[in-house]
Structure 1
Amino acid sequence: MSHPEAEKRFAADAMLGRLARWLRVLGFDTVHIPDVDDHDLVALADREGRILLTRDRHLVTYLRPRNSLLLQSLSPHEQLLEVAEACGIGMAEDLFTRCMVCNTELRQATEQEVATLVPDKARARPGPFLRCPGCGRVYWPGSHTRRMRRVLETLFPD
């Protein structure tokens, strides 16, 4: 990762799926398992040294994870700012290094994968083309990533 704080790892509870995706865009290893039991989520976060992100006061008070952050906001963008302030993180030089869906680190797609998995219109773009070894998704810079970059540049102007 291009910034040392990327070593921070997170576990997002069931209600924080959109926040988890934004943290993954920034390059942070962020586990999000929507149907996991709260006790199992706390055990996973503690075992793997992750910061547990939640809006559930009960989870923090009664299950007492080792390292947690109780978020206040309902907005994923504001939640991201809460995490950034509390954990001292910011925007990385290299965005989109993890799969937004399954959290696996992305790798460069092969020419064969680009030829068979990327639509013709997107293939004409300069790339890079990245592939998730976990779930097989292919990523490339397009309008979606440009919009996401603009959002992040607004949230993290420095």
Structure 2
Amino acid sequence: MSEPDTAPRFLADAMLGRLARWLRVLGYDTFYDPAGDDKELVALSDAEHRVLLTRDRHLVHFLRPRHPLLITAEKPLVQLREVIGACRLSPPAELFTRCLLCNQPLRAATAEEAATLVPETARGLPGQVRRCPHCRHIYWYGSHTRRMRETLLRELPDWLR
């Protein structure tokens, strides 16, 4: 079981963008750059000790990354189950702690940011407003977040509570 300090870090290749997003929802550090070529991805995953997530058997066989995980499923949530099982991931303490766009850890938004950047119709919703310190994207617990949470609970009922 992985604790937050020892949780694996991931690098997803161009075929696994939706998987990368789900891993970020769960709070796992997941690098994703669809423009990177295979040799660059392997070098980066090796240098940063990241598990290289790929569906490309050729990449694994010929480029021999140090920590590959060959994903066999086509559907992102089934892929997510593969990663959880293979890496023995523990359920996160909370969801939505990383930016879904750039992978940075989110910080609590200031009262001023929440008041000016969250749509007026969403300002009274429960839950913390967060902001990415890198790309400045703002997150709040709206309908999209609720649907993602419900999807995870439905797809991973024995893993998430």
Question: TM-score category by the smaller chain?
Answer: over 0.9
SS at match of 1:4: coil
Counterpart code for 1:21? R
Supply the distance in 1 between the matched residues of 2:82 and 2:10 (Cα, whole angstroms). 14
Does residue 1:116 correspond to 2:116, yes or no?
yes
**TM-score, normalised relative to structure 2:** 0.93
Report how far residue 91 of structure 1 moved. 2.7
Structure 2 gaps, min length 5: none
SS at match of 1:53: strand
More helix by share: 1
Supply the distance in 1 between the matched residues of 2:155 and 2:91 (Cα, whole angstroms). 9
**CA RMSD, Structure 1 to Structure 2 (Å):** 1.2
**4+ long deviations beyond 3 Å:** none
| 8 Å contact kept, 2:3–2:90 | no
| 8 Å contact kept, 1:91–1:156 | no
SS at match of 1:92: coil
Partner residue, 1:11: 11
Partner residue, 2:28: 28
Supply the distance in 2 between the matched residues of 1:44 and 1:144 (Cα, whole angstroms). 32
More displaced 10-residue stretch of structure 1: 38-47 or 89-98? 89-98
Aligned pairs (5 A) from 1:84-95 = 84-95=84-95
Aligned pairs (5 A) from 1:9-158 = 9-158=9-158
SS at match of 1:141: coil
SS at match of 1:31: strand
Supply the distance in 2 between the matched residues of 1:91 and 1:24 (Cα, whole angstroms). 13
| 8 Å contact kept, 1:30–1:103 | yes
**TM-score, normalised relative to structure 1:** 0.94
Counterpart code for 1:92? P
Structure 1 residues 90 and 4: alpha-carbon distance in aligned structure 2, compared to 1, 3 A threshold:
closer
